[in-house]
């Protein structure tokens, strides 16, 4: 079972590796820069080398880096789109210090331009920044459909993927809270939801899972994460997700409101489920 949580990158790469190990994790997520945006810190190759060694020693799975929330490839304003494109290009260049991992981002908010326009703009930006040489796989996150979020349905994600030329560089991150909030009933029909995903996008594109409970009912389009077992999805349904054979081997990232002790407990609980 590959399981971990979001770690702070403020103390560097090796520190994240040590923090993950201390929590019992064997993967983790981190923001490539301050989640609210701003300039990214310079990467220290020595620091990265230490992380890569730790990851090898402790048999880590792929990491799931997260783009800042301020990045919006389908903003209505041209300057925000340009800024966001520069941000993703820079992040992808820095991701090559840790080759072969995942870089996840929220597709964007179309802010009144309509989902179709948003989809076009996102795909256009991806086509401008993806390169044949990159070893990183870029993941579109399934979204709750709050406001004008693009990616609120499997169809919208497919429509982005269809327009991207370098398809091998792309995948999807399945966020349990978001999918539930978007209206996919993973409590009563997980198999049906995965089958639907497979029919529309293809399960071979599902690379990682954001593992969260939700404070709101199915279809609420709210996006408020809850601790595992403390929300509307509940422990039983989430156990079925964590142990589903079609999701085996994918990195599961907790984005639950927790302190370190809480994460340790959740990681441990999910490992126990996987053993049963």
Q: Footprint of Fe ion on this chain (CB under 5 A)?
A: 141, 175, 210
- Residues constituting the chain: 276
Residue 223 near which of Zn ion, Fe ion, none (CB within 5-8 Å, type-dependent): Zn ion
Given the rule CB under 5 A, which of 64-72, 108-116, 199-207, 217-225 is the region that contacts Zn ion?
Answer: 217-225
Q: Pick between residue 141 and residue 181 the one whose CB is nearest to Fe ion.
A: 141
Q: Pick between residue 130 and residue 232 the one whose CB is nearest to Zn ion.
A: 232
- CA proximity to 138, closest of 181, 178, 184, 92: 92
Phi then psi dihedrals of residue 3, to 5 deg? -145, 145
Total residues binding Zn ion (CB under 5 A): 1
Cβ contacts of residue 72 below 8 Å, gap of 6+?
A: 80, 81, 84, 108, 109, 111
Q: Pick between residue 91 and residue 141 the one whose CB is nearest to Fe ion.
A: 141
Q: Which of 91, 141, 156, 223 binds Zn ion (CB under 5 A)?
A: 223
Report the alpha-carbon distance of residue 122 to residue 160 in Å, rounded: 7
Q: Pick between residue 17 and residue 151 the one whose CB is nearest to Zn ion.
A: 151
**Could you tell me the smallest distance in angstroms from the CB atom of residue 224 to Zn ion?**
8
Report the alpha-carbon distance of residue 189 to residue 127 in Å, rounded: 35
Residue 210 near which of Zn ion, Fe ion, none (CB within 5-8 Å, type-dependent): Fe ion
Given the rule CB under 5 A, which of 54-62, 85-93, 98-106, 220-228 is the region that contacts Zn ion?
Answer: 220-228
Tokens of 157: 């994600």
Report the alpha-carbon distance of residue 136 to residue 138 in Å, rounded: 6
Tell me if residue 10 falls in helix, strand or coil. Answer: coil
Give yes or no for residue 156 binding Zn ion (CB under 5 A): no
- Residues lying near Zn ion in the complex (CB under 5 A) are found at 223
């Amino acid at each position: 079972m590959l399981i971990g949580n979001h770690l702070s990158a403020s103390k560097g790469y090796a520190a994240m590796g040590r923090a993950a190990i201390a929590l019992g994790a064997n993967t983790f997520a981190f923001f490539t820069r301050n989640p609210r945006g701003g300039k990214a810190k310079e990467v220290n190759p020595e620091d990265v080398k230490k992380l890569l060694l730790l990851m090898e020693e402790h048999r880590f799975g792929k990491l799931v880096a997260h783009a800042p929330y301020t990045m919006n490839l389908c903003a209505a304003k041209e300057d925000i789109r340009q800024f966001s494109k520069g941000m993703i290009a820079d992040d992808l260049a820095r991701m090559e210090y840790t080759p072969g991992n995942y870089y996840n981002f929220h597709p964007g908010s179309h802010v009144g331009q309509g989902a179709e326009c948003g989809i076009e703009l996102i795909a256009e930006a991806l086509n401008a920044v993806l390169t044949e040489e990159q070893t990183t796989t870029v993941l579109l996150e399934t979204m709750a459909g709050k406001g004008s979020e693009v990616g609120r349905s499997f169809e919208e994600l497919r429509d982005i993927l269809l327009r991207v030329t370098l398809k091998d560089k792309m995948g999807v991150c399945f966020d349990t809270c978001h999918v539930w909030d978007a209206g996919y009933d993973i409590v009563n029909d997980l198999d049906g939801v995965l089958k639907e995903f497979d029919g529309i996008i293809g399960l071979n594109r599902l690379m990682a899972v954001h593992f969260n409970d939700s404070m709101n009912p199915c279809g609420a389009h709210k996006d408020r994460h809850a601790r595992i077992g403390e929300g509307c999805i509940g422990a039983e349904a989430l156990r079925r997700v964590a142990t589903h054979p079609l999701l085996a081997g994918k990195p599961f990232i907790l984005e639950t409101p927790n302190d370190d002790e809480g994460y340790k407990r959740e990681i441990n609980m999910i490992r126990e489920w996987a053993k049963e």
